[in-house]
């Protein structure tokens, strides 16, 4: 065994699992200045994310929005590049000792057999490797070699050898010029000291073979949803088209079978996997986008699109895309011998059988906890749920059963990406508070002063890297050097072997000094590979890194045109000319900084707002909490027990006490926001509130802050139907909950109760699912059955949406005799009074006939609507969605953030949610806010846009197209301006501007045109 | 709701009836200044004039049958910064539509601006009109003749003269404005119509400037339809003629080979609102050796090199908003049919985005909006 190393300290954190949740936690912690070790068992970080071509409900990728630093870059790269994150890929935790605040973690680094520092990804080894096996990425749809790159953008960007299949023939070693391959590499063990551990283990797909009756593995055209996801990726073997891999036949009709390994106690999976309805719908839509005549049928029990904007997505799938949803149970699937098509026999809702034929069947796999972590969980002492997921306290959802170990994301149960991002953030918040006493300040790296190189006449040095002889095979370096020498202002052309290695970097450094170079062009591999090393070298010697240009003559020339050396060389020459022209005109860039006001303002003192305030305060920030009522609590005051059996009264009491007593939280009651100003990283809000001493006095106050958190809540929709308001025995679930809690006498006389779901949800006025009402009904029904086992309870529903583990309570309720009857929106139940009792009539699809129920009490499961935020939204300059909830920057990856960084939403004003999820959201916004507040100043991006005011006519097109709110019109001047702290350098404004008044640093029009001229020369 | 009034004309002096109305707007302080064309001392042309003193309204020409400049540009200069007082501008239909378009790009501010539109029979080239005056075919006699023609929509022009091509194919003879002066379908020597929009209706009624009634010309809508139909026919015929030219890039560019690069079209165009055109900056300047290298590669290059790219870029900027005033045509020393060419392209692009330029300030121009499903280009589908 190799010698163990010891690193870390009590202030640092270990994140285990680098999927979406893990990356999110790591990035946020790192942003707040915590040293983070990010461990991943596989050879590349990213989890399932890289597999997804597009995501619901936008059908766009959008993951680059996910980073806590301004939305611009992929989180995988952010983790890779962050100064405070150390990646531990291809590693495993083998032991955990100590306790919260002081863990000693033993980590085994598995051998890659390839040294990432030396590997140049020339892929010569892949060509000679004789072993071909199934590629894991995408469920085995394609093949790979024993030495392989997990996927094209993998981080670390390096090959790896799979020891299980490698035959150790040594061919790869022979062809590797840089000597990066070492077949005798051994695993290394090291010990890491950390104060907190965060678990982002994620999930595993259900093993499709366990549902043998669906024929996966036996029938060649039955595929899993993981495979179908891969098939639809534009980089798949079919370029994303729905074509059968088995025989190349174009798919004309496909079927999705839902709940494979979900809601199915027979295979040990009694939970709902929550996201399959949506991901399958997304796949169907993408497939239809690619092949418009494709027929798609879903076989399902209940459709559960209960996230924000998901219901609309589902409606679009049905109406716009013509996707068919058939409520049914699968009886059998048979393969037809000739066509290899599949014949599905299914039982419809009314009990009749039907048959249909499909070209392919996609099994919508549910999710299980990762099977490999059971040992580790035991070592850590974690309590798991019966399903094997991580057990947490309902009111402290990021806290595991072990002090100092936190969790977020799919290891708590199946989750979609927004929730995973929220929980990853939430775990980071709790961990940051936990670590804050022990956190050591991370000092930023210091670099020497830069010379005033931009002023000098360009003296360009061009270094042509042959990537360890690799490029010489396809490019004529001789011609390139000759051609480059002729270019203007180039005073040095030199060939180097491996610019990524310290030897050659030192050589470049030496030449800069000797020759007085003030611009560098590196011709070699992609700038993504080499930029980091070059910039570090440059900064180390006071050379502005933006004076270095890159010409990719490897991937873009030598590799893609390997059979055409002459043309490849010509193209390489053109790229070098282009880079030189850019270098001639490029100027040094000093990144600007925006100072941050280290205070938070939280509007709304309900559960979400109190949680966020407390969390921010615990991390050491001052918080202003503004509440419109006379006291804190909001909707939480109306909650008496939860489905999982916790007591919200205790939560309320504890939270109000903690918030009220915290020195750093300033409270304002009966307050309203009357003004708001934004000024580069500062916000200034004007409020009017009640004077504490004199109850007749209203006071105005101006609050300065760096972060704005909107937690302004929502309310129960007031029903307009079913005799509500006309008869006092028609009540809402909330009223029922209070009656049960107060042991209301009236309940004793109720022999029969009818609950009606979706009252004010999923209809024309509220075209969204309120998410919590199914759980609410099940909760009250179960509670009633405890006290009154003989009470007849009927639940009239459209789809039962008890997602995740709530499914088990639904199952329980059915077991206890609660009767669920389905109805359609077109055919709503009718409630009438007859002889003092209610008669509820509806059509029962299972009996295929109308029925009438008698009831003593009708309970309406009313939906949730946001409070009226139109005025506030206008004042604070944030957007509302058509339903009146606050609109996020990106529903997938920045679910709680406004496009304007620094403003966040949480709680019911964002979307309807259970208490548990609201707490996660409150924590999450605190973490996202703290990532901002923790810095003295925010560093701006380098390639900022700027405005040439002389040319600007203030037409405002740049303001319209800027996706980041970084553009404003200065009304006084009538000219556009750039808010540096918000600009991401995307260049949209440059394109929109008609006379080049909008420009971008080092991408000026003249510079771009010169580069273009050079390339078409 | 717009309010309608019929105004009696005394002694067949239509212009004085209108001027009288405008005067009362100034006198009763509905507005504090009026922008309106005034006849040049030489009598052979007109110039937009900003009038504060009601007495100076004598001698204005509300029917000026030429368009020396696009008044939307004037209105832009006037309103874009610090227009502290209420000003009305008497404009032709295409000028109003251009002003609406400019308002969408914040180049016209409507806050203190009131647009007065007047039915337009068409306009003559400035040089043509000067000649007409010399030949005694202009001035009052022409106005009388045109007004007469507008009653039935049958216009007869002095022989040897025709309206500008853009006017012949203009489908918008009437205006939608804060105040619209209606001539089509009226016996203008006896009566004209005035329609007041919501912005001023109440005030004009309260100040007793007009008395409103629903009575109007019974034949008006029919006459307008007839005029529009004729012009649309002309337009379609011209589009058909130009179809070959706009069908591909090469044919299109060939048509511009006689361009002298004077940029007059850009100066005349109301939609070209840039303060300084990118083609007048250093962006397209090159070194001598660069030109030589290009010439070397192709054997020859046409100089200057940016003539065609100028038209293409200008087109890409203005074509969705082109309201077809045709002043680019009038301004072109090479007599290139720029307006018809750009309208032919614009027509297709505007249709693609279901966009009608100049219709309503509230509409968003295609360039400033993004719809996920717009312009679906067939690709990658089976």
Average pLDDT, integer, range B283-301: 86
List Cα–Cα distances, A309 to A313, A332, A342, A805, in angstroms.
7, 34, 34, 22
What is the enclosing helix (H) or strand (E) of A191?
Answer: strand A188-194
Q: Are residue A360 and residue A376 in the same domain, yes or no?
A: no
Write out chain A residues lying below 8 Å of B274, CB-based. 951, 953, 994-995, 997
- My answer on whether A73 and A130 are in the same domain is no
Alpha helix stretches (DSSP H) within A946-1004: 957-961, 988-992
Q: Report d(CA B55, CA A329) in Å as an integer.
A: 88
In a domain, A591, yes or no: no
Question: How many whole angstroms separate alpha carbon B242 and alpha carbon B329?
Answer: 15
Same domain, A770 and A808: yes
Count the domains in chain A.
Answer: 7
From the list B107, B274, B293, which residue is nearest A1017 (CB)? Answer: B293
At which of A368, A392, A413 does a domain end? A368
Q: Which of A584, A953, A996 to probe the B interface (max B CBs under 10 A)?
A: A953
A954 touches chain B (CB under 8 A): yes
Residue A117: inside a domain, yes or no?
A: yes
Closest CA to A73 of A37, A39, A27: A27
- B380 pLDDT more than 70: no
Pair A489, A535 in one domain = yes
Q: How far is A487 from chain B (nearest CA, A)?
A: 12
Give the number of C-alpha atoms closer than 13 A to the C-alpha of residue A187, restricted to the C-beta side.
Answer: 13
**Would you state the pLDDT for residue A4?**
47
Same domain, A848 and A891: no
**pLDDT, position A23:** 94
Q: Which tokens go with A770?
A: 């309120």
How far apart (Å, rounded) are the C-alpha atoms in residues A596 and A598?
6
Question: Do A423 and A413 meet the contact criterion of CB atoms below 8 Å apart?
Answer: no
A1013 contact B CB<8A: yes
Q: Up-side HSE of residue A713: CA atoms within 13 Å toward CB?
A: 23
CATH number of the domain that residue A17 is part of: 3.50.50.60
Q: How far is the C-alpha of A568 from the C-alpha of A579, rounded, in Å? A: 16
**CA distance linking residue B30 with residue B22, whole number of Å:** 10
pLDDT, tens digit, 9 for 90 and up, residues A901-947: 789 999 999 999 999 999 999 999 999 999 989 888 878 889 999 99
**What average pLDDT does range B262-282 have in this prediction?**
91
Determine the Cα–Cα distance for residues A292 and A262; give it in Å rounded to an integer.
30
- Say which of B273, B282, B293 has its CB closest to residue A953: B273
Q: Is B225 on the interface with A (CB under 8 A)?
A: no
CA A457/CA A453 separation, integer angstroms = 9
Q: Which residues in chain B touch residue A994, judged by CB atoms under 8 angstroms apart? A: 274, 278, 317
Q: What letters, b where the CB count within 10 A reaches 16 and e where it falls short, cover A283-314? A: bbbbbbbbbeebbbbbbbbbbbbbbbbbbbbb
Residues facing residue A406 across a β-bridge:
A198, A399
Alpha-helical runs (H) found in A560-628: 565-585, 607-618
Looking at the partner chain, which of B105, B281, B286 has a beta carbon nearest the beta carbon of A956?
B105
Residue in B with minimal Cα distance to A1016: B294
CA-wise closest residue to A534 among A547, A518, A545:
A545
Whether residue A594 lies inside any domain: the answer is: no
Of A240, A960, A1006, the CB nearest to B282: A1006
**A960 and B CB contact within 8 Å:** yes
pLDDT at position B257 over 90:
no
Predicted pLDDT at A446: 81
CATH number at residue A967: 3.30.70.20
Query: Does residue A256 lie in a domain region?
Result: yes
Residues in chain B: 382
pLDDT-based confidence at residue B375 (cuts at 50, 70, 90) = low
Non-local (6+) Cβ contacts of A3 within 8 A are none
Nearest to A241 among B80, B278, B382 (CB): B382
Together in a domain, A234 and A339: yes
Domain match, A610 and A688 both: yes
User: For residue B329, what pLDDT is reported?
Assistant: 93
CA dist A26 and A13 (Å) reads 8
Mean pLDDT of the region B86-112: 95
- Among B78, B106, B312, most A C-beta atoms within 10 A, so best to mutate, is B106
What's the token pair of residue A912?
Answer: 């309807």
Above 80 in pLDDT, residue B283?
no
% of chain B beyond a pLDDT of 70: 97
Nearest residue to A671 via CA among A616, A601, A620? A601
Query: What is the SS3 assignment for B86?
Result: coil
Residue A738 contacts residue A640 (beta carbons within 8 Å):
yes
pLDDT value at position A681? Answer: 65
Chain A CA closest to residue B280: A995
**Span B310-365, pLDDT tens digits:** 999 999 999 999 999 999 999 999 999 999 988 988 888 898 888 999 999 999 99
What is the full DSSP assignment across A902-961? TEEE-GGGT----HHHHHHHHHHHHHHHHHHHTSSEEEPPSS-EEE-TTT-----HHHHH
**pLDDT value at residue A24:** 94
| Residue A783 CA to its chain's centroid (Å) | 36
Q: Which of these, A199, A76, A69, lies nearest to A931 by C-alpha position?
A: A69
CB contact under 8 A, A960 and B368: yes
Residues A253 and A306 in one domain: yes
Domain-terminating residue out of A894, A922, A937: A937
Verify that A237 and A299 share a domain, yes or no.
Answer: yes
Residues of B with Cβ-Cβ distance to A960 under 8 angstroms: 368-369
Based on the fold, state whether residues A605 and A679 are members of the same structural domain.
yes
Same-domain pairing of A949 and A928 = no
Choose among B278, B290, B380: nearest Cβ to A290: B380
Q: Which of A185, A217, A244 is the last residue of a domain?
A: A185
Query: So what's the pLDDT on residue A2?
Result: 41
Q: What is the pLDDT of residue B290?
A: 83
Token pair listed for A891: 């529903």
pLDDT at res. A793 = 97
Which positions of chain A have pLDDT values less than 70? 1-6, 60-73, 442-443, 680-681
Sequence-separated (6 or more) residues with CB below 8 Å from residue A693: none
Domains in chain B: boundaries: 3-232, 239-368
Chosen for mutation from A995, A1005, A1006, A1015 (greatest number of chain B CBs closer than 10 Å) is A995
Residue B73: CB partners within 8 Å, gap ≥ 6?
A: B270
In DSSP notation, A109-133 reads E---SB-TTT-----HHHHH---EE
What is the rounded CA–CA span in Å between residue B365 and residue A994? 14
Q: Tell me the ipTM for this assembly.
A: 0.89
Residue range of the domain that includes A989: 944-1000
Cβ-based neighbours of A124, under 8 Å, separated by 6 or more: A175, A176, A177, A470
- Any CB–CB contact under 8 A between B282 and chain A? yes
Residues of chain A found within 8 Å of residue B286, distances taken between Cβ atoms: 1013
Same domain for A159 and A106: no
């Amino acid at each position: 065994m190799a010698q163990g190393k010891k690193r870390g300290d009590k202030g640092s954190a270990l994140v285990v699992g680098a999927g979406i949740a893990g990356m999110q936690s790591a990035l946020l912690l790192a942003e707040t200045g915590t040293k983070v070790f990010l461990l991943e068992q596989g050879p590349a970080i990213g989890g399932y994310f890289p597999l997804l071509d597009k995501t619901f409900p936008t059908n766009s990728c959008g993951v680059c929005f996910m980073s806590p630093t301004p939305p611009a870059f992929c989180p995988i790269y952010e983790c890779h590049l962050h100064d405070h994150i150390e990646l531990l890929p291809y590693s495993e935790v083998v032991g955990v000792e100590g306790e919260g605040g002081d863990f000693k973690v033993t980590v085994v680094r598995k051998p890659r057999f390839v040294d990432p520092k030396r590997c140049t990804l020339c892929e010569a080894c892949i060509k000679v490797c004789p072993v071909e096996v199934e590629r894991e990425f995408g469920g085995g749809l394609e093949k790979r070699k024993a030495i392989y790159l997990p996927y094209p953008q993998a981080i670390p960007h390096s090959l790896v050898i799979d020891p299980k299949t490698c035959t150790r023939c040594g061919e790869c070693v022979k062809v590797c010029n840089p000597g990066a391959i070492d077949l005798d590499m051994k695993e290394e063990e090291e010990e890491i000291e950390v104060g907190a551990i965060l678990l982002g283990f994620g999930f595993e797909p259900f093993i499709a073979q366990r549902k043998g009756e669906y024929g996966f593995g036996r029938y060649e055209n039955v595929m899993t949803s993981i495979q179908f996801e891969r098939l639809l990726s534009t980089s798949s073997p079919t370029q994303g088209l729905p074509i059968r891999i088995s025989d190349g036949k174009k798919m004309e009709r496909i079927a999705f079978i839902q709940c494979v390994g979900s809601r199915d106690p027979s295979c040990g999976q009694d939970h709902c996997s929550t996201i399959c309805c949506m991901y399958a719908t997304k796949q169907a839509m993408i497939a239809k986008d690619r092949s418009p005549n494709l027929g798609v049928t879903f076989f399902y029990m209940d459709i559960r699109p209960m996230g924000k904007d998901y219901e609309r997505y589902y409606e679009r799938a049905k109406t716009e895309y013509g996707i068919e949803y058939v409520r049914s149970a699968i009886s059998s699937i048979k393969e037809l011998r000739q066509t290899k098509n599949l014949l599905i026999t299914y039982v419809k809702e009314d009990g009749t059988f039907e048959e249909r034929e499909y070209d392919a069947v996609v099994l919508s796999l549910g999710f299980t906890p990762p099977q490999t972590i059971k040992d580790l969980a035991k070592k850590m002492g974690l309590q798991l749920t019966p399903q094997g997921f991580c057990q947490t306290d309902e009111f402290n959802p990021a806290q595991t059963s072990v002090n100092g170990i936190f969790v977020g994301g799919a290891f708590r149960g199946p989750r979609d990406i927004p929730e995973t991002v929220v929980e990853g953030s939430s775990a980071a918040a709790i961990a940051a508070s936990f670590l804050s006493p022990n956190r050591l300040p991370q000092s930023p790296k210091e670099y020497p002063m830069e010379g005033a190189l931009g002023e000098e006449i360009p003296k360009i040095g061009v270094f042509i890297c042959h990537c360890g002889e690799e490029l010489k095979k396809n490019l004529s370096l001789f011609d390139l050097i000759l051609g480059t020498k002729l270019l203007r202002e180039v005073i040095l052309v030199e060939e180097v072997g491996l610019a990524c290695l310290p030897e050659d970097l030192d050589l470049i450094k030496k030449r800069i000094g000797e020759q007085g170079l003030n611009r560098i062009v590196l011709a070699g591999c992609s700038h993504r590979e080499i930029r980091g090393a070059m910039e570090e070298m440059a900064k180390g010697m006071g050379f502005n890194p933006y004076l270095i240009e890159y010409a990719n003559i490897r991937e873009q020339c030598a590799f893609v045109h390997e059979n055409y050396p002459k043309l490849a060389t010509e193209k390489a020459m053109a790229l070098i000319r282009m880079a030189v022209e850019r270098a001639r005109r490029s100027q040094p860039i000093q990144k600007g900084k925006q100072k941050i006001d280290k205070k938070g303002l939280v509007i709304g003192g309900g559960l979400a707002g109190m949680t966020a305030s407390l969390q921010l305060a615990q991390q050491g920030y001052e918080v202003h909490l503004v509440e419109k009522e006379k006291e804190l609590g909001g909707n939480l005051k109306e909650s008496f027990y939860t489905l999982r059996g916790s007591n919200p009264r205790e939560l309320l009491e504890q939270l109000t006490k903690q918030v009220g007593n915290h020195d750093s939280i300033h409270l304002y009651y009966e307050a309203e926001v009357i003004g708001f100003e934004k000024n580069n990283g500062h916000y200034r809000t004007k409020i009017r509130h009640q004077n504490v001493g004199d109850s007749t006095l209203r006071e105005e106050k101006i609050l300065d802050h760096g972060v704005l958190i909107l937690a302004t809540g929502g309310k129960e929709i007031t029903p307009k139907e079913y005799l509500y308001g006309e008869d006092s025995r028609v009540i809402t679930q909330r009223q029922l909950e209070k009656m049960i809690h107060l042991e209301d006498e009236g309940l004793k006389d109720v022999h029969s109760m009818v609950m009606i779901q979706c009252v004010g949800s999923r209809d024309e006025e509220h075209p969204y699912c309120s998410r919590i009402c199914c759980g609410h009904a099940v909760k009250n029904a179960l509670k009633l059955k405890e006290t009154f086992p003989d009470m007849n309870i009927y639940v009239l529903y459209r789809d039962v949406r008890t997602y995740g583990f709530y499914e088990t309570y639904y199952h329980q309720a059915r077991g206890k005799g609660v009767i669920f009857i389905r109805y359609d929106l077109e055919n709503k139940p009718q409630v009438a009074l007859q002889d003092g009792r209610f008669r509820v009539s509806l059509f029962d699809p299972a009996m295929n006939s109308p029925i009438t129920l008698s009831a003593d009490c009708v309970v309406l499961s009313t939906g949730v609507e946001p409070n009226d935020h139109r005025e506030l939204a206008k004042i604070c300059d944030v957007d509302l969605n058509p339903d009146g909830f606050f609109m996020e920057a990106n529903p997938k990856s920045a679910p709680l953030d406004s496009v304007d960084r620094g403003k966040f939403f949480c709680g019911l004003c964002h979307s309807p949610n259970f208490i548990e999820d609201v707490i996660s959201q409150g924590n999450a916004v605190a973490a996202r806010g703290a990532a901002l507040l923790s810095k003295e100043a925010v560093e701006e991006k380098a390639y900022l846009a700027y405005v040439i005011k002389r040319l600007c006519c203030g037409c405002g097109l740049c303001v319209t197209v800027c996706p980041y709110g970084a553009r404003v019109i200065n009304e006084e001047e009538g000219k556009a301006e750039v808010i540096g702290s918000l600009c991401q350098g995307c260049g949209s404004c440059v394109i929109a501007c008609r006379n080049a008044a909008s420009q971008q640093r080092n991408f000026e029009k003249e510079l771009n045109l010169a580069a273009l001229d050079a390339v078409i020369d | 709701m717009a309010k309608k009034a019929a105004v009696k004309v005394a002694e067949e002096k239509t212009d004085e009836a209108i001027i009288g109305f405008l005067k009362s707007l100034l006198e009763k302080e509905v507005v504090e200044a009026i922008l309106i064309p005034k006849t040049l001392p030489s009598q052979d042309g007109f110039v937009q004039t900003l009038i504060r003193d009601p007495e100076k309204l004598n001698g204005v020409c509300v029917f000026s049958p030429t368009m020396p400049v696009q008044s939307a540009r004037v209105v832009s200069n006037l309103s874009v910064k610090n227009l502290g007082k209420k000003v009305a501008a008497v404009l032709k239909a295409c000028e109003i539509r251009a002003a609406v378009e400019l308002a969408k790009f914040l180049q016209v501010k409507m806050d203190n601006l009131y647009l007065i539109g007047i039915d337009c029979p068409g306009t003559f080239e400035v040089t043509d009109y000067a000649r007409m005056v010399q030949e005694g075919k202009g001035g009052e006699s022409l106005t009388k003749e045109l007004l007469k023609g507008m009653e039935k929509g049958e216009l007869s022009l002095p022989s040897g003269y025709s309206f500008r091509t853009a006017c012949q194919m203009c489908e918008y003879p009437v205006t939608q404005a804060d105040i619209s002066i209606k001539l089509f379908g009226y016996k203008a020597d006896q009566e004209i119509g005035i329609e007041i929009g919501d912005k001023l209706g109440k005030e004009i009624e309260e100040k007793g400037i007009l008395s409103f009634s629903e009575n109007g010309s019974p034949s008006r809508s029919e006459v307008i339809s007839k005029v529009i139909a004729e012009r649309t026919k002309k337009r379609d015929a011209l589009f058909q003629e130009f179809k070959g030219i706009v069908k591909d890039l090469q044919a299109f560019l060939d048509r511009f080979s006689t361009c002298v690069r004077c940029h007059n079209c850009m100066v005349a165009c109301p939609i070209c609102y840039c303060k300084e055109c990118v083609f007048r900056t250093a962006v397209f300047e090159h070194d001598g050796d660069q030109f030589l290298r290009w010439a070397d590669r192709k054997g020859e290059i046409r100089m200057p090199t940016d003539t065609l790219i100028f038209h293409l870029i200008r087109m890409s900027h203005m074509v969705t908003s082109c309201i077809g005033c045709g002043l680019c045509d009038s301004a072109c020393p090479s007599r290139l049919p720029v307006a018809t060419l750009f309208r032919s392209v614009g027509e297709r692009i505007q249709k693609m985005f279901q966009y009608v330029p100049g219709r309503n300030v509230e509409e968003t121009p295609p360039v400033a909006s993004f719809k996920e499903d717009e312009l679906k280009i067939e690709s990658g589908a089976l």
